[in-house]
Amino acid sequence: MIVGPNSGARGGRDGDTGCTIVVRADNAGPGSLYVLPWTGRGRCGDHAAARMLPRREATDVTELSRRDQSTGSARRSFSLALLRPLVPIFRRKVDELVERLTIRLRQEIPDYAKMDYEELRVEAEAQVRYVLDELAGEPVGPENGPAAYGRLRAEQGVPPEIVLHAYRVAWVELWAGLVDDGDEDRVPTDQLLRASSSFFWMADEYAGRMLVAYRRRATELLIREQAERGATAEGLFTGYLHGSEALWQAAALLDLPYYGHFVVVAAATPTPGREGLPGIRDALMKAHITSAWRLAPDLHAGIVALHDLAALRPLLDELKGRVGIRAGLSAPYTRLADTPHAMHVARLVLDTIPTDQSAIKQFTESPIGALMAASPDTAGELRRSVLSGLEELSKDDHQTLLLTLTAWYESGGSITDVAKRLYVHPNTVRYRLRRIQAQTGRSLDDPRDVADIWAALIANAMIPTPRPGS
């Protein structure tokens, strides 16, 4: 019997106002329901299925539904025995079905409307014939099945939700073509009822196979793209890619300009092979900043293209907003060909940051430090030659004088500011500075000595001297 129409659902033809018919067999339980799409003409209640079923037919329908429910899961197997008698009817009208299916897809889905009509029609025909061959028990190859369709759409870059919607539209349209009232091959209602559940569970199973293949192929393409981008970025960092043609190709692949404003970011990895700046490319894209990244066991490095130098601020804000990051930035440069040198500088700046500290440093903030990082042995020798007198003192005196000396530089040589910063009397600061001059043999009034001591302090921060009990 007809339980009732469900108005508001989409009709079989684009533009029609349709509904669905909910059918339950006589004396059947509440779970023995069938939902048939209304695709005919006239009112929803005029559908050919809107009549009482004989008791014998009702029993058949009920048994089919109960068998479907016995699995207890959303994925139910379909009955080929119920669907196979429909194959000859489908095949007699396959050209018509393919035509209306192609039109429906182009009308309803904008992404498909952009596709070539003939190409879409050929694809639709291949899919329909695959379904019919499988229903008929004939051999089918993998080249035209749901998996092949999913892989094709993944390669074309069509979003998965669009592909799934199109797949569902196609199956509904296929069924609509079978039950169209105006068709001379109209199938008896009882046969449609028996086959409807299996037909749409078959559609569900095909959609699952299609999506699995789509996701696998999309993942393969993503991994390939990331590998290609990473290898290309590595070619820029190392200088392996050089010459105008190679650099133009690299810029095109990485979506970077050939000329512009660039900086290289070199971030330490927390563990080997783990990104130091997870999700950084997507985060910068939200700020309309393009970048390309490469991950190595100890380094997560990127080339960042800036619209102008003012765009450096959003980059720094993004980096400094992250916790536990050690990263060095090169000075800005304008030619992609200069990336190897910028990479070298960024790594040197990173090396000026102690491994137990988190910081974001630019080359412009510490060019002397970058020079020290380029030659650790020279930096160590400089530290020893300038600060060895302080290292002879006790641990407490050594740390106190270094703290005072660092504060003096950072305060621009203002004894008053140093005293406020350290919460001591200005005379205490003067006394400590005299001790520093005596222990180092250098004068804080001589610009050359001031430069030597400052360089030695930077070297000491990079390569701290191990002391007994420290």
pLDDT digit string, tens, across residues 337-381: 999 989 988 988 888 788 888 899 887 666 777 677 667 788 888
d(CA 252, CA 131): 42
pLDDT value of position 462 = 67
Residue 261 and residue 334 share a domain:
yes
Instruction: For the chain, give the mean pLDDT.
Output: 78
Q: Both tokens of residue 385?
A: 């030659």
**What pLDDT does 386 receive?**
92
What is the number of other CB atoms lying within 10 angstroms of the CB of residue 354? 13
Same domain, yes or no: 9 and 127: yes
Among the residues of 240-311, which ranges form H helices? 244-254, 280-286
Lowest mean pLDDT among 154-158, 182-186, 253-257: 182-186
287-307 pLDDT, tens digit per residue, is 899 999 999 999 999 999 998
Q: Characterize 133-164 residue by residue with b for buried, 16 or more Cβ atoms within 10 angstroms of its Cβ, and e for exposed.
A: bbbeeeebeeebbbbbbbbbbbeeebeeeebb
Q: Domain of 160: which CATH number?
A: 1.10.490.10
Residue 364 lies in a domain: yes
Confirm if 228 and 234 have CB atoms less than 8 A apart. no
Residue 22 CA to residue 4 CA, distance in Å, equals: 6
* Percent of the chain residues past pLDDT 70, beyond the cut: 77
- Cβ 439 vs Cβ 401: under 8 Å: yes
pLDDT band of residue 422 (cuts 50, 70, 90) is very high
Q: Residue 140 pLDDT > 80, yes or no?
A: no
Q: pLDDT tier at 72 (50, 70, 90 boundaries)?
A: very low
Total count of domains within the chain: 3
Tokens, residue 54: 């004989």
Of 349, 373, 397, which one is at a domain's C-terminal end? 373
Question: What's the pLDDT score for residue 56?
Answer: 33
Give the Cα separation of 280 and 109 in Å (integer): 34
* Same domain as 59, residue 71: yes
The CATH number of the domain holding residue 325 is 3.30.70.260
Same domain for 287 and 205? no
Question: Angle between the 146-156 and 117-135 helix axes, to the nearest 10 degrees?
Answer: 160
Cα–Cα distance list, 364 to 328, 349, 420, 443, 447 (Å): 11, 10, 28, 27, 21
Q: Residue 309 has which token pair?
A: 């130098």
In this predicted model, what pLDDT tens digit does every residue of 95-106 receive, in sequence order?
Answer: 888 898 899 999
Q: Residue 283 — very low, low, confident or very high, per pLDDT cuts 50/70/90?
A: very high
Give the C-alpha separation, 1 to 15, whole Å.
29
Residue 16 pLDDT exceeds 80: no
Q: What average pLDDT score do residues 115-132 get?
A: 89
* Cβ–Cβ < 8 Å for 144, 130: yes
Phi then psi dihedrals of residue 393, to 5 deg: -80, 170
In a domain? residue 470:
no
Range of weakest confidence among 338-352, 411-425, 452-466: 452-466
* Measured CA distances, 89 to 40, 83, 92, 132, 201 (Å): 18, 11, 5, 10, 20
Q: Which of 139-153, 307-321, 368-382 tops mean pLDDT? A: 307-321
- DSSP three-state, residue 259: strand
Residue 184: CB atoms within 10 Å? 6
Domain boundary among 353, 373, 393: 373
**pLDDT higher than 70, residue 2:** no
- Among all chains, which residue has been given the structure tokens 């400590």? 432
Q: Is the dihedral of CA 116, 117, 118, 121 positive or negative?
A: positive
Give the burial class of 233: count Cβ atoms within 10 A of its Cβ; 0-12 exposed, 13-18 middle, 19 or more buried.
Answer: buried
Rounded Cα distance, 169 and 113, in Å: 14
Pick from 20-24, 92-96, 391-395 the range whose average pLDDT is largest.
391-395
Q: Please indicate, yes or no, if residue 40 is contained in any of the structural domains.
A: yes
Same domain? 127 vs 103: yes
pLDDT band at 242 (very low <50, low <70, confident <90, very high): confident
- Claim to verify: residue 453 and residue 433 sit in the same structural domain: yes
Calculate mean pLDDT across residues 264-285.
93
Rounded Cα distance between 32 and 9, Å, is: 21
Q: Do the beta carbons of residue 425 and residue 412 sit within 8 Å?
A: no
Q: Which two tokens stand for residue 172?
A: 């509904």
Distance CA 247, CA 178 (A): 57
pLDDT of 315 strictly over 50: yes
**Whether residue 307 sits in one domain with residue 199:** no
Under DSSP, the state recorded for 158 is: -
Judgement on whether residues 90 and 208 belong to the same structural domain of the protein: yes
Residue 406's CB is within 10 A of a number of other CB atoms, namely 15
CATH number at residue 411: 1.10.10.2840
- Confidence at residue 362, expressed as pLDDT on a 0 to 100 scale: 85
The secondary structure of 377-396 as a DSSP string is HHHHHHHHHHHHHHHTS-HH
Burial of 42 (0-12, 13-18, 19+ CB in 10 A): exposed
Q: Which domain holds residue 280?
A: 254-373
Domain-ending residue, one of 344, 373, 402: 373
pLDDT for 77: 52
Q: How confident is the model at residue 46 (pLDDT cuts 50, 70, 90)?
A: very low
Higher pLDDT, 55 or 453: 453
Measured distance between the N- and C-terminal CA atoms of the chain, rounded to whole angstroms: 89
* C-alpha to C-alpha distance for 51 and 30, rounded to whole angstroms: 18
**162-220 tens-digit pLDDT:** 999 988 888 888 888 777 644 555 666 777 777 777 888 888 888 888 999 999 999 88
Both tokens assigned to 455 = 């360089």
Residues 358 and 417 in one domain: no
Q: How far is it, in rounded angstroms, from Cα 146 to Cα 139?
A: 15
CB 62 within 8 A of CB 45: no
Q: Do residues 367 and 394 both lie within one domain?
A: no
